[in-house]
Amino acid sequence: MDETAAREAVLVRVIDRAEPELPRWAAADRAWASRVAAETVGAGASAAAFVAARAHAALQRLLPRDSGASTNVWRWLQRPLWRPAWVLWALLAGLVAGALVDRVGSAQHVNLLAPPVWAVVAWNLAIYLLLALRVLAGLLRRGPDTPGPIAATVRRLVRRGGEARAPRGLTELGLAKVWPAYLADWTQASAPLVAARASAVLHAGAAALGAGLLAGLYLRGLVLDYRAGWQSTFLEPAAVHAALSLLFAPASALSGVAVPDLAGIAALRVAPDAPGGGGSAAPWIHLYAWTLALAVLLPRGLLALWSLGRARRLARRFPLPLDEPYYQQLLRHQRRDAARVRVWPHAQAPSAQATLALRAICARVWGETVQLDIGAAVPWGDEAAAAASAAAAAGDAAIALFDMGATPEAEQQGRFLRELAQALPAGTPLLVLVDEAAFRARFAALEDRLTQRRAAWAALARTLGTAAVFLDLAAPDLATAERLLQAALDRPVQRAAA
């Protein structure tokens, strides 16, 4: 899946998950798009190919070609988000800046202890150190990767720039409401690609800056007679010789230009009353040039090429998170296999009517062939034993079902949810569903009681990193229930860190 196909997939995802449901895109439309994609790519196609084909089919149904607004949306989706010329502009800007700001010293005198070249070298070495530390941290990190400073900065800029308004075509088609969700999802999904491109531009600019400095050194040296020397209140010739020998060691070894001995360094000391003293700066300019090449041009150039190559790979094979529940549900249409969902009722078993409602809701979320397994009610105080038995309950999802009449407590329901999430096989999302049918019937005239109890359950769910789903299983709104469960799948109960 390339970048354009990924943009289509993300847009269709937010349209599928729009709340409330878009009038132009109902469950029948979503099923049609999945069926067409499965027939188009076949059962043996890759997951990425199926998701891309489904997104394209969905947009063809949503955006008819004979509509001007639809044409605008198609153009927006196909418009490139990256231009290679940006790297060329960065190179040009770096070269010009390096050539213009280069002044190895004032009054045609090079202070060997404090030329601007060392500031550029020090800055680049600091960048390399930060990059190395980040790579090391990534190797040691067990959890998901966090965005680096470049990715985080670009993400903020993209989000701020895109929050102003949706593309005109989306607005004209009545789809502007999905723009904030699309912007958030696309910013998250494209962060690695955007970071690689931004890195390429920055590394290319930094390499060009070093090249500009190097060119400036020689161009100025052709028409001006630079003198080299040093001054210091605290350092003696021996210390200066040791420092310069160390700093210029790589450049000296490769260029063959030797650093003067101790006597030569002492002779370059400039007296306060003779600022024009010192010796010829030619050998020192050669050493500076080699130092810039080794510390700036070569590594930055390689980093720029590596970032460009990585960006090209990511653009051709976009890393869309196909392991997310939303995409996994789509892929079941391609595989034509039945999803398995396990329900764990707490304290009391659901009524026959609630069971039928659960089956209807799960059929909308996981497909008509879903296999729903409703276990026996978990008694109060027996939560730990019930959670331990979940280790063998492999499936596509698990639902902990509570009655709103029970007061949520961290020591009871909270512990049950934590232990159940930990015991379930890795990758099985656990959702919190609260049936408010009996509570609503009992306190129909007291809306405040319902609001307070919802707030208590919502607070417990937040401590577990998820959101509680509140449904009236006596008379559920199936479309609303589907959207709520789909949203909860993106934020299931979090497993405790190992």
Which of the residues in the chain have pLDDT under 50? 104-105, 163, 498
Report residue 111 as tokens: 């202070």
| Element at 459 (helix H, strand E) | helix 447-463
Contact 405, 438 (CB under 8 A): yes
What is residue 104's predicted lDDT score, i.e. its pLDDT?
Answer: 47
Transcribe 410-438 into DSSP letters.
IIIIIHHHHHHHHHSPTT--EEEEEE-HH
What is residue 370's predicted lDDT score, i.e. its pLDDT?
Answer: 87
Tell me what percent of the residues of the chain surpass a pLDDT of 90: 45
The string of pLDDT tens digits covering residues 80-125 is 989 999 999 999 999 998 888 755 445 567 788 876 788 889 999 9
Contact 98, 215 (CB under 8 A): yes
How far apart (Å, rounded) are the C-alpha atoms in residues 137 and 145? 9
User: Fold for domain 338-490?
Assistant: Rossmann fold (3.40.50)
How far apart (Å, rounded) are the C-alpha atoms in residues 435 and 357? 11
User: Residue 269 CA to chain centroid, in angstroms?
Assistant: 54
Burial of 162 (0-12, 13-18, 19+ CB in 10 A): middle
Q: Which amino acid is at 243?
A: A
What is residue 164's predicted lDDT score, i.e. its pLDDT?
Answer: 55
What is residue 17's predicted lDDT score, i.e. its pLDDT?
Answer: 84
What is residue 331's predicted lDDT score, i.e. its pLDDT?
Answer: 86
- Phi and psi, residue 31, nearest 5°: -65, -40
Residues 6 or more apart in contact with residue 309 via CB below 8 angstroms: none
- Phi and psi, residue 438, nearest 5°: -65, -40
What is residue 313's predicted lDDT score, i.e. its pLDDT?
Answer: 96
Q: At 479, is the secondary structure helix, strand, or coil? A: helix
What is residue 391's predicted lDDT score, i.e. its pLDDT?
Answer: 62
CB contact burial 460-495 (16+ within 10 A = b; e otherwise): bbeebebbbbbbbbeebeeebbbbbbbebbeebbeb
Domain with CATH 3.40.50.300 in the chain: 338-490
CB contact burial 388-410 (16+ within 10 A = b; e otherwise): eebeebebbbbbbbbbbbbebee
How far apart (Å, rounded) are the C-alpha atoms in residues 68 and 25? 19
Helix axes 191-223, 85-101, angle to 10 degrees: 30
Burial of 117 (0-12, 13-18, 19+ CB in 10 A): buried
Which of 329, 410, 320 is closest to 367 using CA atoms?
329
Q: Which amino acid is at 160?
A: R
| Element at 409 (helix H, strand E) | none
What is residue 428's predicted lDDT score, i.e. its pLDDT?
Answer: 86
Rounded to 5°, the CA angle 336-340-342 comes to 165
Burial of 92 (0-12, 13-18, 19+ CB in 10 A): middle
- Answering whether pTM is above 0.85, one says no
- Phi and psi, residue 109, nearest 5°: -125, 130
Tell me the chain's radius of gyration from C-alpha atoms: 32
